[in-house]
Amino acid sequence: MTPEKDSYCFLIESLPDAFAYHQIVLDDHGTPVDYVFLEINRAFEAMTGLRRKEIIGKKVTEVLPDIKKAEFGWIGTYGKVALSDKPTCFESFSEPLGLWYDVNTYSDKPDHFAVAFRDISKNKKTEQALRETELAAIYENAPLIMMLADKDQMVRKINGYCSLFAGKKAEEMIGLHGGEALGCLYALEDPEGCGTGLYCKDCTVRKTVLDTLETGRSYNQVETSLPFMIKGKEETAYIHLSTTRLFLKEEQQVLVSMQNITELKKTEQALCESEERLDLAMAVKNEGLWDWNLLTDETYFDKRYYTMAGYQPNEFSNSFNSWAERVHEDDLPIAQQAIDACLKGNSDQFNIEFRFKKKDGQWMWINGKGKIYERDESGFPLRMIGTHTDITDRKQAEAEIRRLNEELEQRVKERTIQLEAVNNELEAFAYSVSHDLRAPLRALQGFSANLISNYDDHLDDQGRHYLDRIHKAALYMSELIDDLLKLSRVTRAGIKKQQVD
């Protein structure tokens, strides 16, 4: 034996903890199925009762045949260390040896691993004794349905609340399956004919309890419902189920606790129905609710508040700043002024309109209403509640009406200009006609007057009569032209009201 090996062996033998060195055994698929003892120290022999000459070179399944039936997967755990070269440590109960061990294991080369461990059975027994005492106190005082069940799921112990819930004495429930003891109709009917589960038909409860027994995983407040026969009446009870695996006196048990939340569920259901009715009413009105705590600056926005703007509930934070960031910059000062007036006590409520940014970046019009709901003794506001109403359709209709009115006014202006142009043209035409007609009329009047004046003695009575008629007709025609010009000015003059007979 070399000096290095002598030193190594001396070090191993000097360890206060048990030490063993192994080689893992794999099947054809590379899965760990066994391991071989290569070396152990004296502390190992003392703690386990196994002798070196009896186990070196042998497989663990030969030395401890029941190891594969143990709750803890020793071979699999050690196999992972040997194949992955990742050290690990754990505490576990060795059923083949009947002892608790604190284990540290590592691999120094492929397919090999070393184990150092110490016996902590005494500490575990003390811990378990204390736990049993604590559990006893919990059983008697906790307002929960609590029971201890063994690995076959038979009731070993119950608390007072459990007995009160089932309406049975403790001695009537001990030794029964959990579901049967509590009066669960699933277990009483035994629809699967198995009679092996706390609740055969209810997969949630049964799988939770079985998984805790098999893997040691604890569950907390798993919600489910069960039909019970309570005081001769069938009722559906809602429960929160919790499970924890325990080792009491080296025996595996499961602590099952159930909180009866039936009344809470009824209250929640009534509240949900009330909220649903309110939500439908708010949806019809296209409104959202908000509730602002002025002391903490926390603001509650209901679901409709978010969805009406295209957001998911709680998509932006519940604060005043989150609201202000989404208000149009041109509208924010006016909105802020109205809110500040309420906060300062100038008014108890406000009613404003502003633009609010939707999730898609578009702007929607909001009618925001708010009211101070609570103040302290000094008048400082504590809480403000209000609504957001989508008035986008109304604002769009108003904008359309304004557009149509502006368009109508523009058309009137255009028509007025056109009419004025026509009137101007008509007036120009009238003056032109008047000027053109007056020239021949003046000739007729002048020549007829000259004939009468200069040639009166050369004309007989009939001739003078014709000249007189020509002269009068020219004068009448001149008057008609003047009247036509006056008539053309009537449409341009203002209307003067006066009384008439």
| Residue-wise DSSP of 340-396 | HHHHTTS-SEEEEEEEEE-TTS-EEEEEEEEEEEEE-TT--EEEEEEEEEE-HHHHH
pLDDT given at position 59: 93
**Ramachandran area for residue 297 (φ above 0: left; ψ -120 to 50: alpha; else beta):** left
Q: pLDDT value at position 96?
A: 78
Q: Please report the pLDDT score of residue 195 as a whole number.
A: 44
pLDDT for residue 232: 67
Which residues have CB under 8 Å from 347's CB, separation 6+?
341
Predicted pLDDT of residue 190: 47
Using CA atoms, how far apart are residues 161 and 173, in angstroms rounded to an integer? 13
Please give the DSSP secondary-structure letter assigned to residue 183. Answer: T
Whether 434 and 487 have beta carbons less than 8 Å apart is answered as no
Handedness of CA 487, 491, 494, 499 (dihedral sign): positive
Output the pLDDT for position 194: 43
Q: Where are the alpha helices (DSSP H) in 91-168?
A: 121-141, 160-166
Residue 62's pLDDT is what? 92
pLDDT under 50: residue ranges of the chain: 1-2, 188-199
What is residue 174's predicted lDDT score, i.e. its pLDDT? 85
SS3 for 496? coil
Q: What is the pTM of this model?
A: 0.37
Quickly count: other Cβ atoms within 10 Å of residue 48's Cβ: 21
pLDDT digits (tens, 9 = 90+) for 59-98: 999 999 888 888 788 899 999 999 988 899 888 888 878 8
pLDDT at residue 448 in the model: 81
Q: Which of 58, 64, 52 is CA-nearest to residue 97?
A: 64
Pairing of strands 99-106, 219-230: unpaired
CA angle 386, 389, 394 (to 5 degrees): 150
Q: What is the pLDDT of residues 177-234, one digit of tens each?
A: 777 777 676 654 444 444 444 445 555 777 788 888 888 888 888 888 777 766 667 7
Looking at residue 487, its pLDDT comes to: 77
